[in-house]
Amino acid sequence: MAKFLQSYGYDLILGSIAAIYVVMAPYTKVEESFNVQSMHDILYHRHHLDSYDHLEFPGVVPRTFIGAFIVSIFASPIVSIFTWLGFSKIYSLVAARLVLGCIILSTLRFFRIQIRNKFGHQVESFFVLLTSLQFHLLFYCTRPLPNILALGLVNLAYGNWLKGNFYSALSFLIFATVIFRCDTMLLLGPIGLEFLLTKSISFWKALKYCVGTAVLAVGLTIFVDSIMWKKFVWPEFEVFWFNSILNRSSDWGTHSIHWYFTSALPRSLLVAYPLSLVGTLLDRRVPFLILPVLFFVILYSKLPHKELRFIISSVPMFNLSAAVAASRIYNNRKKSIWKLVNMVMLALFAISAGCTVVTFMASYYNYPSGYALKRLHQISHPANAAGEEWVHIDTFSAMNGISRFCEDDFPWRYSKEEEIVVEELRNRNFTYLVNEHPSVGGYKCLFCEEGFDRLKLQRGFPPIVLVKKGKVYVHRDMKKEDPLHEKWPGLQNRNVPLASSASYSRLPRCISPVVSVVSLSKKTAIVCSISQVYGYGTVDYERRPIIQWNAIYRKISLMEKPELGAASVLNQWEKGGRKLTKWELCRVYDWMNKRGERFRLSASDAAIQLDLIGKVRGISDAEDFFLTIPEDFKDRRVYGSLLNAYVRAKSREKAETLLDKMREKGYALHPLPFNVMMTLYMNLREYDRVDAMVYEMKQKDIRLDIYSYNIWLSSCGSVEKMEQVYQLMKSDVSINPNWTTFSTMATMYIKMGETEKAEDALRKVEARITGRNRIPYHYLLSLYGSVGNTRELYRVWNVYKSVVPSIPNLGYHALISSLVRMGDIEGAEKAYEEWLPVKSSYDPRIPNLLMNVYVKNDQVEKAEGLFDHMIEMGGKPSSGTWEILADGHTRRRRIAEALACLREAFSAEGSSNWRPKVLMLSGFFKLCEEESDVASKETVLELLRQSGHLQDKSYQALIGVEENGTVNDSYVHESDALLTQLQDDL
């Protein structure tokens, strides 16, 4: 036993302290999320990569799986036992963290043994004592951060350095740099330079070792991570490019250049900080060890974004220097001057221990959402619930303690959907909310979880007090027990159209989780079945079937033949054997009306049906349906759906009348109806009315939300006013500007000729893209095209391709449109060729871009060749396609051919949504006059009359063949993109 303690006693001390930290604070922060989720997925999903979290939420830059694999392999036997015993998954997280701690501390043991061999047992003892008195190193060693994974290799490098194995030391540092943390090169450089200057290594031999190790490490990480990410990737190179070349890490905050030396190192080293300086003076061997590490911290100080974990690998070497000083002071403690120094050192030891205790207590209270979710699981009784228990976790809570390891099994279901305004939560089917808001309309606050706020000094004992305040609140839906008020879990797609019923409607949740629609003879039967979610007991909340509804909703919204009704979309899905959840079926009014005996209609259903009728059949039918709704069903959601319909149809007078009625009934006390009206005024270009809406909201104490500010920004007529609005937005503590904010500002800067400011705004757009959201990239591509920055356009395109597995047609459309506008026709043609083999369907809008520029450049034959290629590829020419050909024939003075193309344009699928270009028609009519071809002109005028276009003032001028105005295509493009963006947000 004595021999065991002699060999492993110090390891037991350090390991016990680290284990206490893990058990007392098992939860994790957002910085650890990738490796935590990866370990969870490896342990529970194993080889089922499609279920892995990172494919749905990849983060800003990819990270390596190698560290997660190593920890999971060692932790898997323990996790298997816990699973077999029925323990909750939080125990698996504790096990994984303890395994990581053992790995890191074993590498620290190797370094410590080399300290003993080189400096003696007493220095080793002080090294252990100093490490024990410090909080951060032992607390961090169990946290799955890339910096900690790199720390293990750095410890091995330090040990080999002391042992004299200089080439091995370099090899470990290269592995750490290439695989885990690219910034370890800042430590590798000074250490390698010292080895060369002291002639500890040969340059050519070192080069051979370094190149060989680098090739091996790069090959390993590319092999493993390309499999896991399902694309060719070297994660740390992308991190290096993002942080160092693009300097994008500063978007997450900056510190002064001296912060590491005046804040981070003093807090992490405590008594070791002054002792490490003394150690360099007392032992001539120490400066050679400290200087490279010191230069590492100095070099890192140049990076604006700073965190303690970035330099955590310097702590062991500083502790060595401090241990040397402590040993020398202790040995000379009987001498007069040294005795005083020894007493000061012992006092600093005591102060360090006190600081560590205080810091640990603060950290214990720094994971409030983890404790809140645990308490919710304990106090609720889901076993008695009739169905699923939905918990919504907001961004703040997700960042402060909650991970997949915190989740429980069915009936618990979790959603981390972002950017839901507080007022909208009551319209979702969430049973519980875990968020940072003390009160939420429609919910009862069950309890508040306090978290660390600050330290407070006081007279008496204890001199330092931890001040806590409410950080996370758990709410329960007050109407949950009332079946008439059960609601749908919420939209997964955050970019719903302007008139989406998600804005106002609450949907009944049906009993069956999943409904499969199958065809039996000529009748339709609904077969209920339980959804098979493969998850090893986990819940994939991001992959719930709501996405299927979004697909149906888009199909209904974009129907080419609305007269067929929404049921035609369902029939297509039925023939394909597709599954629909019951809340999806409830959203389609045709289906519900045909099966009225199965569904209990509510005000929510009325709002949804009204919205869909307005989309599919038009305003008149929507108004008729509104009149049939019982008065007690006409709540703010129903009125809101009708208001959406009016705004979509640009019926200003009716929309304003309805808003007045909503004011009278008290339905206009939240920002959404005002946002809808502001978008209407934006469409009508009545920007002063937007200001009036904002003024009314402020007068009535209605808080502006993110959409209100974004629309207000877009309405500004000058840079000064827009920047004033943005400053107001920044000063509103409830608002966090999103990518839409900055794309709106970029659009306005471009319109006003402020190119430099526009590009700065576009960089902020890119910094706020999360996950695989494709839409921001489309706006970036379009706006960089408007700026005319080819280099940035291609860079964003390459980033886009590296982030998402497949790019939709809209992405290629945005790229080719920008290239065409910048005059890079060759680049546009290459992009078109790249699109052909990967297209999801042949979208005629993409070749139309090239055809249009060919016609403008008097290359009509080339445009006709591309048209022929479209037909060969099975594409269906749109009205726009025929219009382009008509323009080409007009330019060649071929009236008959142009007229034939215009006839095709007016009869093509989707022509009801097509708006002929006034300038093209003007050119055709002018040609008819010159050629005295009255019949052809009358034919086109009749087509305009039949399609209803002559009711538009823009076309009425054509009757006299007068077209004095010109259209700025760039302005129209930017304005249309901006309005589309605002409507998508709403």
Does residue 533 lie in a domain region?
no
Does residue 106 lie in a domain region?
yes
Does residue 669 lie in a domain region?
no
Distance CA 609, CA 622 (A): 9
Asked if residues 855 and 865 have their Cβ atoms less than 8 Å apart, the reply is no
Task: Tell me which of 94 and 247 has the higher pLDDT.
Answer: 94
Least confident of 455-469, 557-571, 795-809, 965-979: 965-979
Q: Which of 918, 421, 483, 478 is nearest to 709 (CA)?
A: 421
**Residue ending a domain, choose from 477, 496, 511:** 477
Which pLDDT band, with edges at 50, 70 and 90, does 578 fall under?
low
Q: Is the pLDDT of residue 530 over 50?
A: no
Q: Which of 270, 352, 376, 379 is nearest to 319 (CA)?
A: 270
Does residue 171 lie in a domain region?
yes
Q: Return the pLDDT at 555.
A: 56
- In this structure, the answer to whether residues 282 and 400 fall within a common structural domain is no
Q: Is the pLDDT of residue 157 over 60?
A: yes
Mean pLDDT across 146-156 = 95
Mean pLDDT across 138-166 = 94
Distance CA 860, CA 852 (A): 9
- In this structure, the answer to whether residues 398 and 360 fall within a common structural domain is no
Distance CA 619, CA 596 (A): 24
DSSP 161: H
The overall average pLDDT reported for the chain is 81
**Residue ending a domain, choose from 318, 334, 365:** 365
Rounded to two decimals, the pTM is 0.54
Cα dihedral 550→552→558→561 (10° resolution)? -170
Q: Return the pLDDT at 519.
A: 32
Q: Is the pLDDT of residue 55 over 80?
A: no
Does residue 242 lie in a domain region?
yes
Q: Is the pLDDT of residue 839 over 90?
A: no
Task: Tell me which of 143 and 600 has the higher pLDDT.
Answer: 143
Distance CA 188, CA 478 (A): 59
Q: With residue 869 as reference, give the H or E element that holds it.
A: helix 860-872
- Sequence-separated (6 or more) residues with CB below 8 Å from residue 861: none
Q: Describe the strand order of the beta sheet including 389-393 as a list of residue ranges.
A: 412-415, 389-393, 432-435, 464-477, 443-457
- In this structure, the answer to whether residues 3 and 98 fall within a common structural domain is yes
Distance CA 109, CA 107 (A): 5
Which pLDDT band, with edges at 50, 70 and 90, does 143 fall under?
very high
- In this structure, the answer to whether residues 319 and 373 fall within a common structural domain is no
E strand map for 530-675: 579-580
Question: Within a 10 A sphere around the Cβ of 647, how many other Cβ atoms?
Answer: 27
Which pLDDT band, with edges at 50, 70 and 90, does 251 fall under?
low
- In this structure, the answer to whether residues 31 and 161 fall within a common structural domain is yes
Q: Is the pLDDT of residue 25 over 80?
A: yes
Least confident of 505-519, 561-575, 657-671: 505-519
Residue the block writes with tokens 């079926």? 585
Question: Within a 10 A sphere around the Cβ of 750, how many other Cβ atoms?
Answer: 24
Task: Tell me which of 883 and 458 has the higher pLDDT.
Answer: 883
285-287-289 Cα angle (round to 5): 80
- In this structure, the answer to whether residues 808 and 892 fall within a common structural domain is no
Structural domain span for residue 780: 759-841
Q: Is the pLDDT of residue 249 over 70?
A: no
Distance CA 529, CA 547 (A): 18
Distance CA 309, CA 944 (A): 68
Q: Is the pLDDT of residue 563 over 70?
A: no
- In this structure, the answer to whether residues 302 and 349 fall within a common structural domain is yes
Does residue 287 lie in a domain region?
yes
- In this structure, the answer to whether residues 55 and 135 fall within a common structural domain is yes
Give tens-digit pLDDT for 794-836: 999 988 888 777 788 889 999 999 999 999 999 999 999 999 8
Q: With residue 413 as reference, give the H or E element that holds it.
A: strand 412-415
**Residue ending a domain, choose from 330, 365, 400:** 365
Q: What phi and psi values does residue 432 have, to the nearest 5 degrees?
A: -130, 150
Give tens-digit pLDDT for 946-982: 888 777 777 776 665 433 333 344 434 444 444 454 4
- In this structure, the answer to whether residues 172 and 65 fall within a common structural domain is yes
Sign of CA dihedral 788, 794, 795, 797: positive
Q: Describe the strand order of the beta sheet including 523-529 as a list of residue ranges.
A: 523-529, 514-520, 579-580
Does residue 114 lie in a domain region?
yes
Mean pLDDT across 732-736 = 82
125-129-132 Cα angle (round to 5): 140
Number of domains observed in the structure of the chain: 4
Distance CA 680, CA 646 (A): 9
Mean pLDDT across 870-876 = 86
DSSP lists the bridge partners of residue 447 as 474
- In this structure, the answer to whether residues 279 and 424 fall within a common structural domain is no
Q: Which of 315, 297, 294 is nearest to 306 (CA)?
A: 297
- In this structure, the answer to whether residues 375 and 466 fall within a common structural domain is yes
496-554-781 Cα angle (round to 5): 65
Does residue 156 lie in a domain region?
yes
- In this structure, the answer to whether residues 809 and 943 fall within a common structural domain is no
Task: Tell me which of 964 and 317 has the higher pLDDT.
Answer: 317
Asked if residues 229 and 62 have their Cβ atoms less than 8 Å apart, the reply is yes
Distance CA 320, CA 123 (A): 8
